[in-house]
Each structure stands twice: as structure tokens, then as C-alpha cells.
Amino acid sequence: MTLYIFKRFLFIIPTFIGITLITFFIMHLAPGDPAILKAKSGESVSAETSLSIVQETRKIYGLDKPLHVQYGSWLKRLVTFDFGESFKDHRPVLKKIGETLPITLTLNILTIIIIYLISVPLGIFSALNPKSLLDKFITLLIFILYSLPSFWVASILIVIFACGDYLNWFPIIGFISDGAEKLSLFGRVGNVAWHLVLPVICLTYGGFAFISRFSRASMLDVIRQDYIRTARAKGLPEWKVIGKHALRNAMIPLLTLMGTLLPALLGGSVIIEQIFSIPGMGRLSFESVLARDYPVIMAIAAIDAILTLISILLVDIMYVIVDPRISFEKR
Amino acid sequence: MIKWGINIVCLLLLVSCQFKVPKDPYTLTYPIPADPDTLNPIITADGNQRIINDFIYEQLVRIDRETAKAVPSLAEKWDVSKDKLQIIFFLRKNAIWHDGVPFTAEDVLYSYEQIQNPEVDAAPQRSDLVNVSRLEALDPYTVRFTFKRPDYKGINAVGAMRLVPKHIYNDGNKFNSHPANRFPIGTGPYKFAAWITGRKILIERNDAYWGLKPDIGKIEFKIVTDSNVQFQILKKGELDVGIMRPIQMVKQADTPKFNERFNKYEYYLPLCFFIGWNAQKPYFEEASVRKALTHLINREGINEKLYFGKAKGLATCFDVNSPEYDETIKPYPYNPEAAKKLLSGAGWIDHDNDGVLDKGGFPFNFTFSMIGGDAATSRIATMIREDLLKAGIVMEIRQFEWATFLNQISKRDFDAVWLAWAFNPTSDPYEIWHSSQIESGSNFVGFKKEEMDRLLVEGQSEFDEAKRKEIYSRAQQILHEEEPYTAMYAPASLVAIDKRFENVKVHTLGIDPREWRVK
């Protein structure tokens, strides 16, 4: 097994290079040029001068060299974890990502935990009472939630709960109050939680449908199995049948979903971050794409790629641990 | 379990109560839509830094908000040479940087060198100074600019050159990524205090300021990314200044509660929204067709419906706040009948009776390119499409993202385009309308007229105000006759300001918190 993991690890390297290579060239193929964007942000300038100024700016950004040379030097710097400087403000890319990362992580971990905590029991409940009125109601409800656009829900929530015309329970913007630095740790955590209530609601409600349907289907599969009938036949109490025999087997397919979790932790939601003025990864990547801030785009793509590859590997390893029927040696 | 939930909610509410600290009346809270890229005024490329840096940094001259003319700032006075090719600035001797070091000609020279240095990422500033050939320091408090050709706006261009302290920046760190880019040291009435990325930027009064000291002690620039949310938190009382959209001002800000707390102000922004007709495309070659299109678009209707009449209708694309703007030229009225006559005169008639005008076998069917993402603009485009469709002209709307859009324009790959010019005291109509700028400059619609070319060159070097006004007045008449653009409007800035501030004046160029006094 160690050998297998080692082999898989080696495979990550060419895959990673492939992903970044494609990202790099697609990014450069997209119309728009950071140097022109910069020059055009000033006055309208006469033709000749603007051209020479754009050339100078391209040189500062290192865009005057051929594409393959640019990619080569990017890769070379990557080995030392140097993602370069942002074109926009000349700050190190890693620092910019580092500023937004904790916020996005907090938001996403909370969101994912809440989605799982609510949808898995919901799915199991539906599976145990298939076609019942309640099952139909839950299905309808989660699909209605799934279809509500988050920007609309966010606006409604703000108007009702936060703007003071009706209720004034929550703050509208940011993720922490000014002056919260002075609070105790407990106070700070409470303050952040208070700020995150509305954004987290907006990020979670749409996710119930997918996970709960998934666990419902997987549970339904399992409770039709012979061993469940056997368990019931030998007189085990129902909670033990479900909790011990059915649930554990039904959760194996959910593991595959875990593979998407790690990269999803980093992806922010542009819309929600925009509405609630939360400086997270979503806005950073969106703004970088609009500004053609190549170093930031590449860094985010590279980090995403690495995380995806690692989580795929992790899921495979977890399979073996959870399900003894699967083993690497046989493959 | 439920009990627990209630406990947690109570806890959160308790926590929330601890933050209702009484507000300091001398702190002004002002919204900005995003973090600035940097607070280094030389390498920046965005508008948000300007809002903040205007309080921190100063330039040689200041543009007076009332007259839009240059008045002394870091330069006490200046002399223009007889041939108009040189300006000598006499610097103020009592100006000091926020760290106590005096401001001298060295700083001016250093800033100029940085802007001109190809390794400094200062493309926008460098293009402002293309007409300057030399800068010399005659003594520690005198500098002389030499121009390549006489330009009446030269004083604005060099006077507005952004200045940074040499002793801070010249310390071996790279200019582009210098730590002072996020900790500016200026000479202005406010000092930089803190920048918390994504949340706020704080500045405080500079008590060692050489000029009139403002009354407001601190200004907190709060980052609020969404304009609807900005209005909500304004109502909630977390902001002292709010910038409203017309619908918010008219429909939502007229409640007793709102009026009790805020005064509302209006002024026109130096912007001109327009539709540019690409004269290199067969549809828009003739002036009469462009004029007909203008007649077909119900500009007053759009202003009424979407802007509640708050925008100013324009006849031509000139800076509405500049002294050269000619008020006597009135926009063409909405008049489909006149348009029909003009169109048939140009040969655009519905020959094959399919409801669409055609000429030489080609139907009148063009694309309208615009930047996507803004709901108001999309609605304007739809209204224009409906207006034109009634006259048998088919317009397809295409929306682009900004970088792609710029690319299309620089390749001249468009029929009609929706855009806006933002004017400032150094903008020169030469760049937009001179025929030399058709190839790759800003005259992307390909407008060409000999008389116009002559006027634009004359205007640049005319230092006599009355004569200059005449020249540009004639230029605006030509633009009105030729209609290379259909000028739409200059939008209004609609501002709500907390009533505890007094002496709030609305100048031609807007408001200035430095004058405000706290009640």
C-alpha cells in the first residue's frame, strides 16, 4: 500500500503541470491585456505615446517575453513557493491570498458542517419513510430552497433582519466589528459568529438538496440489502439496524463527495461576499480575473489544483480504511 | 435542544449589544466600494485611492471646486514664460511632510523622475506628462517645467503631478512595491492612520498642516461593496455620507426618519455617457443617418424613467462642468418624423416591405456593444432597441466584460458602442476628436473633419479664455451638426450627508469635507 501511495503521489506532478499549463494558456488566450488596462485607466492619450507606455508596462509585468518562457519562469519560481507579485498592487500574491484565506475558510467550514448536519439526517429520514407525505414535503422544500437565487435571499434577509426597518438583529457588512480586538477570545468568536449568521444562511440553504438526495438514495440502496433483512430477522431493535448496519454502509458513497470538499473550502462565493462586503477568496479571484491579474489567477488555480489532486488521493486511501472489500494490491 | 438554541441566540444578541459604542461626532464615516489598489499616487490605477489620497497628498496646484481653475497649493505662485513654453513654480516654504521633514524641490524632481522611469508602473501618470520635456530645480524652493509645445492645460497637467516624499521612497526598496504604498506620508490636512484590508481605511487630522485646518478629526473610509447594502447601512446610521441611486433618492429616501437625519445634495458628475457610431461602418458613414438615430432615441424619456429626471441631457460630449461647455447648444428632441425624413433622404427605405429599412440590398441591422453587468445600462439598451425598431432599424445588443470590450474597441471591431468619458482638468478634446487619433488613439469612431482638426490644435495653445471659449464653442457646434456620438447625459451625484455637519457647500465640482464643521 505504501508503494501504491508513493506511485500515486508521483502521478500528481505531471497532472499538476498539465493543469497549470492549460490554465496558463487559456488565461493568455482570453482577450484583454493587463498593460492596456493599466494605461487606459488614465487619460485618453494620443496614439503614439500610449503605445510606447503600454510597451514599457508590459516589460514591468514580464509580458514582453514569449509565452513558453513566461510559463517556464513561473514554474521555476513555484518550486520555491514564490508566486510572484500581483500586477495590481505589486504585493506578494501569497500575502494577498493569506489575507483572504482565513475568512473564506471560516465561512466554508461552517457552511459545509451545517449542510452535512442537516442534510444527512434529512436524507436518512426520507429514505426510511419513502413516498410518505413528509418525504414529499421535504423533497419539495429542499428543491424550493435549491432554486432560490442567493442574491435575492440575501437582500430579503438584510431587509427583514438587519436594516432596522423591521428587525435589527444582525450587522449587514463585514465579518467582525471594529474594536473587537479588545474583546476576550470568547467575545471575538461570538462577534464573528454574529456577523456570519446571514451569510452562512445564504450559503447553506441551497446545498441541502444535493447532499440529502444523495444520502437518501444511498440509504435506500442499503436497506434493501439482504443483510439488513437478516439483521431485522434476528430481532435487532430498529435503531440498531439503521444506526449500526445500514448507516455505516450507506455513508461510503458520501466519501466520494468528500473529495470535492477540500478544494471547495477555498472557493469563495463572489455574490455573497460582494453583498456582505466580506473580503474573501471569491472576490479576490473574481477581481483578479476582471483585472487580468495573471499572477494571482495562476496562484489560485495552482493551489486549487494541488488541493483537488490531494483530496482525490485521500479519498482513495479512505476507501480502503472504511471498506475492507476494496484493496489496492488487487488493482 | 431548543432551549440551547434560544440560549445561543440570546448570547449572540448580548454580544451584539456590546458594540453599540457611542459615536464620536468628529469622526466622519464615508463609504468606498472597494479597497484601493495602493495608496502610492504614482503607480495607482484606480479611483478609490483618489478619494483617500486627496486628503493625504497635495500637488503644486489645486483645482478650485467652484471655478475649476488652478489655485496655489504646494506652490505659492507661478510664472508662465512669454513663449508659454515654461512655467516656474515657487514652492511653499512652510509645507512639511507628515514625518516632519520639509517639502522641497528635491521631492518634486524625484517624483517626476519616478513617473518617467520606465521601470515604474506609472503608465497613467506618465501619459499625463507627455508634453513635458524637462523639469529642473532652480533652487530648493523653485522648479521649472519646460513643455514641448504651448498648452493652456499644461498648468493643470504639471500642477496636478502627484508628489511623493523622496526621503521615504528613496531608501533602497523597490518603488513599485515600497512599504509606503500602504502607509503613505503626505503633506495634506490629514495623516494616514490605518488600513485594514477589506474593512476600512482610517485617516486623522494633521495638526501641523500649513493651511487651514479642517474641523473633522478623523475620517473612516468604510468598504461597502454593494450599492444597495450601502443604502441600507446608511439608513441604519452606520454611515455619515451615502451616495444614492436616483431611485433610492426619489422612492426610498423621502421618509420622515431619513429626512430627520440627512440633508440631500445633488451635483453633476464630469461624465458623459454616449453612443459612439463607428463611422467606418457603412450604416453610420453619413451625418444625416447619425442625426436621424439621435432623433429616434427618446433621451428625455430614458432620463425620466430611469433617472427620475436627475441626469442632465447633453447635446455633445464636452465636460459639463468646464468653462468651455456651451449651454446654448440644445440636444435634439425626440422626433421620429424628422428622423424618417433624414433616413429616406440618405437612401434608407423599406424597399422590400419586410419592416426593416434597407439600402442597396442591405438591411439596417447593427450590433450595439456595451459592458455587461449593470442592470440600468441593460434597460437603457433595451429601450433604445425598442425606439429604433419602431422606425425599422434592428439593433442587436451584445454585452462584454470590460477587458474584452476594450480589446474590441482598440481593434475597431464594433458598429455602435455605449461608453462614457470621464473628464478632468487635464482632459483635452484633441484626443477624442482629432483625425490623427483615428488609427489607434481615442477617436475610435473615426470622426474626421478638417475644420475640427484645426480648431482642436488652435484651442490647445490659446491662452486667452474668451477666445478659447469661442473656439471650443464652434467645435461643439460641429459635433452637434455631425453627431459622431449621440451624447446621452451627465449623471448626477446624489449625496446624503448627516445633519450634524454644517457649512456643507455644493460646488460645481462637488462637495469637500474639509470645509465642513461639526455642530
Helices and strands, number each (H, E), in chain B: 17, 23
Q: Are residues A69 and A130 in the same domain?
A: no
Indicate the helix (H) or strand (E) that contains B477: helix B465-482
Chain A interface, best mutation among B23, B126, B434, by max A CB count within 10 A: B126
Q: How many whole angstroms separate alpha carbon A81 and alpha carbon A239?
A: 51
Contact (CB<8Å) B200/A178 = yes
- Confirm whether A285 is domain-assigned: yes
Contact (CB<8Å) A163/B232 = yes
Nearest to A43 among B128, B235, B401 (CB): B128
Residue of B nearest to A194 (CA): B12
Nearest to B397 by CA among B382, B411, B409, B419: B382
From A123-132, B17-26, B124-133, B376-385, the region with the lowest mean pLDDT: B17-26
Contact (CB<8Å) B18/A162 = no
- Confirm whether A132 is domain-assigned: yes
Q: Are residues A156 and A276 in the same domain?
A: yes
| CATH number of the structural domain spanning residue A120 | 1.10.3720.10
Asked if B199 has any chain A CB less than 8 Å from its own CB, the reply is yes
Distance from CA of A62 to the nearest CA of B (A): 11
Distance from CA of B14 to the nearest CA of A (A): 9
Indicate the helix (H) or strand (E) that contains A203: helix A185-204
Nearest to A290 among B118, B197, B402 (CB): B402
Give me the helices (H) in A133-184, please: 133-147, 150-157
Residues of B (378-407) whose Cβ lies below 8 Å from A = 401-404, 406-407
* Cβ-based neighbour number of residue B49 at 10 Å: 25
The answer to whether residues A135 and A129 touch, using CB atoms and an 8 Å cutoff, is yes
- Confirm whether A24 is domain-assigned: yes
Give the residue numbers spanning the domain of A61. 2-79
Chain A interface, best mutation among B7, B18, B438, by max A CB count within 10 A: B18
- Residue B55, classified by CB atoms within 10 Å of its CB into exposed (0-12), middle (13-18) or buried (19+), is buried
Cell numbers placing A316: 482513495
For chains A and B, CB pairs below 8 A equal: 189
* Amino acid B447: pLDDT: 92
Given a cut of 70, whether residue B3 has pLDDT beyond it is: no
- Confirm whether A197 is domain-assigned: yes
Residue recorded with cell 429604433: B388
How many domains are there within chain A?
2
The answer to whether residues B485 and B259 touch, using CB atoms and an 8 Å cutoff, is no
Distance from CA of B352 to the nearest CA of A (A): 39
Contact (CB<8Å) B401/A290 = yes
Last residue of a domain, one of A79, A113, A132: A79
Q: Are residues A65 and A205 in the same domain?
A: no
Contact (CB<8Å) B229/A47 = no
Contact (CB<8Å) A90/B177 = yes
Q: Are residues A11 and A116 in the same domain?
A: no
- Confirm whether A327 is domain-assigned: no
Q: Are residues A106 and A73 in the same domain?
A: no
Q: How many whole angstroms separate alpha carbon B405 and alpha carbon B409?
A: 6
Contact (CB<8Å) B226/A277 = yes
Given a cut of 90, whether residue B111 has pLDDT beyond it is: yes
Contact (CB<8Å) A275/B229 = yes
Give me the helices (H) in chain A, please: 2-29, 34-40, 47-61, 67-79, 93-128, 133-147, 150-157, 185-204, 208-223, 226-233, 238-240, 247-250, 252-258, 261-266, 270-275, 281-290, 294-322
Contact (CB<8Å) B198/A278 = yes
Nearest to B15 among A30, A50, A190 (CB): A190
Q: How many whole angstroms separate alpha carbon B33 and alpha carbon A277?
A: 9
Contact (CB<8Å) A169/B442 = no
Residue of A nearest to B21 (CA): A179
The phi, psi pair for B138, rounded to 5°, reads -80, -35
* Amino acid B19: pLDDT: 44
Q: Are residues A26 and A166 in the same domain?
A: no
Tens digits of per-residue pLDDT, B196-239?
A: 988 899 999 999 999 889 999 999 999 998 888 899 889 888 89
- Would residue B434 be called left, alpha or beta, if left means φ above 0 and alpha means ψ between -120 and 50 degrees? beta
- Would residue A81 be called left, alpha or beta, if left means φ above 0 and alpha means ψ between -120 and 50 degrees? left
Pairing of strands B241-244, B394-400: unpaired
* Amino acid B18: pLDDT: 45
Q: Are residues A258 and A113 in the same domain?
A: yes
Across chain B, what does the average pLDDT equal? 89
Contact (CB<8Å) A38/B439 = no
Handedness of CA A105, A110, A114, A117 (dihedral sign): positive
Residues of B in contact with A91 (CB under 8 A): 177, 182
Residues of A in contact with B431 (CB under 8 A): 43-46
Q: Region B4-20: what's the mean pLDDT?
A: 48
Give the rounded percent of residues in chain B with a pLDDT score beyond 90: 57
* Amino acid A331: pLDDT: 47
What is the torsion angle, in degrees rounded to the nearest 10, for the CA atoms of residue A59, residue A61, residue A67 and residue A72? 120
Indicate the helix (H) or strand (E) that contains B363: strand B362-363
Q: Are residues A107 and A72 in the same domain?
A: no
Q: How many whole angstroms separate alpha carbon B106 and alpha carbon B163?
A: 10
Cell numbers placing A163: 436594516
* Cβ-based neighbour number of residue B353 at 10 Å: 6
Contact (CB<8Å) A57/B121 = yes
B501 bridge partner residues:
B518
Distance from CA of A288 to the nearest CA of B (A): 11
Q: Are residues A73 and A113 in the same domain?
A: no
Nearest to A44 among B45, B176, B442 (CB): B442
Last residue of a domain, one of A79, A114, A131: A79
Residue recorded with cell 437612401: B347
Given a cut of 90, whether residue B251 has pLDDT beyond it is: no
Residues of A in contact with B199 (CB under 8 A): 174, 176, 178, 279
ipTM, interface predicted TM-score of the complex: 0.82
Nearest to A279 among B38, B123, B197 (CB): B197
The answer to whether residues B11 and B200 touch, using CB atoms and an 8 Å cutoff, is no
Task: Enumerate domains of chain B plus CATH numbers.
Answer: 17-225+500-519 (3.40.190.10), 271-492 (3.10.105.10)
* Cβ-based neighbour number of residue B397 at 10 Å: 15
Asked if B121 has any chain A CB less than 8 Å from its own CB, the reply is yes
Q: Are residues A62 and A134 in the same domain?
A: no
Distance from CA of A69 to the nearest CA of B (A): 20
* Amino acid A47: pLDDT: 56
pLDDT per residue rounded down to tens, chain A (331 residues)? 778 888 888 888 999 999 999 999 999 988 888 888 887 765 545 556 677 788 888 888 888 889 889 999 898 988 888 888 898 888 999 999 998 888 888 888 888 889 989 998 899 889 888 888 989 999 999 999 999 998 899 989 988 888 777 888 888 888 887 776 777 778 888 888 888 899 999 989 888 888 899 889 998 988 888 888 888 888 888 888 888 888 888 888 887 777 777 777 777 688 888 888 888 888 899 889 888 899 999 999 998 888 888 888 888 888 777 777 777 665 4
* Amino acid A45: pLDDT: 53
Q: Are residues A299 and A239 in the same domain?
A: yes
- Confirm whether A94 is domain-assigned: no
Residues of A in contact with B232 (CB under 8 A): 158-159, 162-163, 172
A257 bridge partner residues:
none
The answer to whether residues A268 and A203 touch, using CB atoms and an 8 Å cutoff, is no
- Confirm whether A308 is domain-assigned: yes
Contact (CB<8Å) A46/B441 = yes
Residue of B nearest to A40 (CA): B124
What is the torsion angle, in degrees rounded to the nearest 10, for the CA atoms of residue A25, residue A29, residue A35 and residue A36? 180
Of B426 and B357, more confident: B357
* Amino acid A17: pLDDT: 92
Q: How many whole angstroms separate alpha carbon A149 and alpha carbon A49?
A: 47
Residues of A in contact with B197 (CB under 8 A): 99, 279
Residues of B in contact with A283 (CB under 8 A): 225
Three-state DSSP class for residue B488: strand
Asked if B128 has any chain A CB less than 8 Å from its own CB, the reply is yes
Contact (CB<8Å) A179/B21 = yes
pTM of structure: 0.86
Asked if B37 has any chain A CB less than 8 Å from its own CB, the reply is yes
DSSP state of B243: E
Contact (CB<8Å) A59/B118 = yes
Q: How many whole angstroms separate alpha carbon B312 and alpha carbon B303?
A: 8
- Confirm whether A89 is domain-assigned: no
Residue of A nearest to B258 (CA): A165
Q: Are residues A180 and A306 in the same domain?
A: yes
Contact (CB<8Å) A179/B19 = yes
